């Protein structure tokens, strides 16, 4: 599972919980911890991060209801972003940049993008083709350089890449020099020694690993290999416009101890963004930014509020029954939540009762004592109580009986439902996540309620 998906799932624990209390926060943090460690993020980094998340989540604000939920998600978001570093600020000055990476990761394209970037900043740029492995590499970079208005350095037919680097360096007068190296299908000894030789000659200020957002966990190993060879100073993640969420990049960055410098978001020279950790984490979690994420959390929270009321109520009383009836009438039967759990819905005929009838129920209920509202069995046992209520509310005794029989129907339904193991399981599953409304979230399958 990629890191982004894992984190999204961990957060669903939070958004799916009926109540965000200390236990839920701790469980969420534990889950995030597990996901990060499985994602090969450095263990001490993970432990530090989760300690900070837990402390901030529990200390900073009262943890009740939607506010608490949002707060925790925000803390997770901010701490992940902090771990990735802040916004990258490239120096706009004379410098040498070396691009490294495996086949097709986007090195050559990125060389063009960077050339374009520095040209726009008013610096002169030269690009050097040190890819001696692929026959068409020379022409490709030449075209890229031309488009960016950069000077091109290369030597056709040369097999020693370090020699090209040395000669280019001897000639070049440009402010920014960008060296494009050869890729491989996997890191091997040959690439290792080639890169070391180039590095010895070129002595780059920036050694940037180019990785594709799609690659997932192998990013960590790649980062380590390249880092061991030449010592990376940063990472560029390409193809962030594609399906990849860049989860692996988090591990790559953590593993190499560097920061993300840029991200590629398309094939054109303008499709390069300065890395912004907050935006990146937003993408990782499936949302473009914090605001969009908060919006979604609010929505999920709103959904759970209904759930909380309807399902967490330990005891169904006349009062809660009436509230549910009113709520059900307003928004339709509690379909989303009840049916999803395989629960019987509040009977349709009850929900479809007329406004008049609901009004009548209300006056009847208002004539009950608090004890009666809390314990309907008091009424069932006592004819005189029923008559008193009918008199007090100005309704017919049949109406009071009708209300009671409807209440009992629902009560029975709920009792059966709660006793049902399938229901309990589904409840637990729902509390642990799987609540619809989060990215990648699905509805738990609805088993039959009866058994």
Ligand X SMILES: Nc1nc2c(ncn2[C@@H]2O[C@H](COP(=O)(O)OP(=O)(O)OP(=O)(O)O)[C@@H](O)[C@H]2O)c(=O)[nH]1
Question: How far is 29 from 316, CA to CA, in rounded Å?
Answer: 34
User: What's the rounded Cα separation, in Å, for the pair 310 and 339?
Assistant: 13
CB atoms within 10 A of CB 222: 25
Nearer to ligand X, 131 or 372 (CB): 131
∠ CA(86), CA(90), CA(96), 5° rounding?
A: 140
- The item of Mg ion, ligand X, none sharing an interface with residue 239, based on CB under 5 to 8 Å by kind, is ligand X
CA 350 to CA 328: how far, in whole Å? Answer: 9
- The reply on whether position 108 binds Mg ion by CB under 5 A is yes
Residue closer to ligand X (CB basis): 28 or 222: 222
The option from ligand X, Mg ion, none interacting with 104 (CB < 5 to 8 A, set by class) reads ligand X
From the list ligand X, Mg ion, none, which binds 238 (C-beta under 5 to 8 Å, kind-based)?
Answer: ligand X
Contact 238, 212 (CB under 8 A): yes
Size of the site for Mg ion (CB under 5 A): 2
Minimum CB separation from ligand X for residue 2, in Å? 18
Determine phi and psi for 205, rounding to 5 degrees. Answer: -80, -40
CB 179 within 8 A of CB 97: yes
CA separation for the pair 247, 175 (Å, rounded)? 34
- In the bound state with Mg ion, the residue whose beta carbon lies nearer, of 182 and 293, is 182
Q: 106 or 244, CB closer to Mg ion?
A: 106
Q: Which does 201 bind (CB under 5 to 8 A by kind): ligand X, Mg ion, none?
A: none
Q: Binding segment for Mg ion among 105-113, 146-154, 370-378, 432-440 (CB under 5 A)?
A: 105-113
Q: Enumerate residues 6+ apart whose C-beta is below 8 A from 236.
A: 99, 106, 110, 208, 209, 210, 211, 260, 261, 262, 263, 264
Question: What is the C-alpha to C-alpha distance for residues 18 and 301, in angstroms, rounded to an integer?
Answer: 8
Q: Which residues bind ligand X (CB under 6 A)?
A: 101, 103-109, 131, 134, 137, 183, 238-239, 241-242, 264-267, 271
CB of 321 to ligand X, least distance (A): 56
Alpha carbon distance, N-terminus to C-terminus of the chain? 35
Neighbours of 218 (CB within 10 A): 15
**Contact positions with Mg ion (CB under 5 A) in 377-406:** none
Taking the complex as a whole, how short is the minimal distance between the CB of residue 243 and ligand X, in angstroms? 10
Which one of Mg ion, ligand X, none interacts with residue 51, CB within 5 to 8 A by kind?
A: none
Question: Which residue's Cβ lies closest to ligand X?
Answer: 183
Q: Pick the stretch among 99-107, 247-255, 306-314, 317-325 that binds Mg ion (CB under 5 A).
A: 99-107
Which of ligand X, Mg ion, none sits in contact with 242, Cβ below 5 to 8 A by type? Answer: ligand X
CB of 434 to Mg ion, least distance (A): 43
Q: Which stretch binds Mg ion (CB under 5 A): 4-12, 104-112, 281-289, 291-299?
A: 104-112
Of all residues in the shown chain, the one whose CB is closest to Mg ion is 108
Distance CA 442, CA 444 (A): 6
Picking from 95, 226, 103, 88, the residue whose alpha carbon sits closest to that of residue 172 is 95
Nearer to ligand X, 189 or 356 (CB): 189
Q: Could you give the 3-state DSSP secondary structure of residue 206?
A: strand
Please state the closest distance from residue 437 (CB atom) to ligand X, in A.
Answer: 29
Toward ligand X, which CB reaches closer, 182 or 304? 182
DSSP calls for 228-293: HHH---EEEEE-TTSS---HHHHHHHHHHT-EEEEEE-SSSTT-EEE-BHHHHHHHHTT-SSHHHH
- CB-wise, 114 or 364, nearer to ligand X? 114
Minimum distance from CB of 81 to Mg ion (Å)?
Answer: 31
Closest by CA to 421, choosing from 449, 387, 384, 383, is 449
Give the shortest CB-134-to-ligand X separation in angstroms.
5
Given the complex with Mg ion, which of 142 and 353 has the nearer CB atom?
142
For residue 110, the minimal CB distance to ligand X (Å) is 6
Q: Which stretch binds Mg ion (CB under 5 A): 100-108, 209-217, 325-333, 339-347?
A: 100-108
- For ligand X, the closer of residues 207 and 239 by Cβ is 239
Taking the least distance from each CB to ligand X, the nearer of 71 and 245 is 245
Q: How far is the CB of 27 from ligand X (least distance, A)?
A: 37
Q: Pick the closer one to ligand X by CB: 114 or 137.
A: 137
Query: Cα(7)–Cα(28) distance, rounded to whole angstroms?
Result: 10
- The residue with tokens 């303008």 is 270
In angstroms, give the least distance from the CB of 175 to ligand X: 23
Nearest CA to 230 among 315, 161, 158, 280? 161
Question: Shortest gap between Cβ of 249 and Mg ion (angstroms)?
Answer: 20
Q: Under the rule (CB under 5 A), what is the footprint of Mg ion?
A: 107-108
């Amino acid at each position: 599972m990629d890191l982004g998906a894992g984190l999204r799932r961990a957060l669903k624990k939070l958004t799916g919980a009926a109540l965000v209390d200390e236990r839920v926060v701790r469980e969420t943090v534990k889950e995030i911890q597990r996901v990060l460690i499985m994602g090969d993020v450095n263990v001490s980094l993970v432990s530090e991060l989760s300690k900070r998340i837990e402390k901030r989540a529990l200390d900073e604000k009262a943890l009740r209801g939607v506010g608490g939920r949002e707060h925790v998600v925000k803390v997770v978001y901010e701490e992940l972003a902090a771990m990735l570093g802040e916004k990258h600020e490239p120096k706009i000055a004379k410098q040498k940049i070396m691009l490294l990476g495996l086949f097709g990761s986007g090195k050559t394209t990125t060389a063009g993008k960077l050339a374009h970037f520095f040209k726009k900043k008013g610096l002169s740029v030269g690009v050097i083709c040190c890819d001696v492995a692929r026959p068409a590499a020379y022409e490709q970079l030449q075209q890229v350089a031309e488009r960016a208005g950069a000077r091109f350095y290369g030597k056709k037919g040369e097999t020693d890449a370090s020699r090209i680097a040395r000669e280019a360096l001897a000639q070049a007068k440009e402010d920014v020099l960008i060296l494009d190296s050869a890729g491989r299908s996997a890191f091997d000894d040959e690439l290792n020694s080639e890169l070391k030789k180039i590095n010895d000659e070129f002595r780059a200020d920036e050694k940037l690993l180019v990785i594709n957002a799609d690659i997932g966990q192998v990013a960590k190993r790649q980062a380590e290999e390249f880092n061991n060879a030449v010592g990376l100073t940063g990472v560029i993640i390409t193809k962030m416009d594609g399906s990849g969420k860049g989860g692996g990049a988090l591990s790559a960055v953590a593993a190499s101890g560097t920061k993300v410098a840029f991200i590629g978001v398309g094939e054109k020279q303008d499709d390069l963004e300065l890395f912004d950790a907050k935006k990146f984490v937003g993408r990782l979690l499936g949302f473009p930014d914090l605001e969009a994420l908060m919006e979604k959390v609010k929505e999920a929270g709103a959904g759970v509020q209904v759930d909380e009321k309807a399902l967490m109520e330990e005891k169904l009383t006349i009062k809660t029954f009436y509230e549910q009836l009113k709520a059900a009438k307003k928004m339709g039967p509690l379909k989303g939540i009840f049916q999803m759990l395989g629960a019987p819905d509040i009977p349709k005929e009850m929900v479809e009762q007329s406004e008049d009838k609901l009004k009548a129920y209300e006056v009847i209920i208002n004539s009950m004592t608090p004890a009666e509202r809390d314990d309907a069995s008091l009424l069932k046992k006592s004819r005189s109580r029923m008559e008193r209520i009918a008199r007090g509310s100005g309704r017919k005794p049949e109406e009071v009986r009708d209300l009671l029989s409807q209440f009992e129907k629902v009560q029975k339904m709920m009792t059966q439902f709660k006793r049902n193991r399938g229901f309990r399981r589904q409840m637990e599953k729902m509390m642990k996540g799987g609540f619809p409304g989060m990215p990648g979230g699905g509805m738990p399958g609805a088993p039959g309620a009866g058994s």
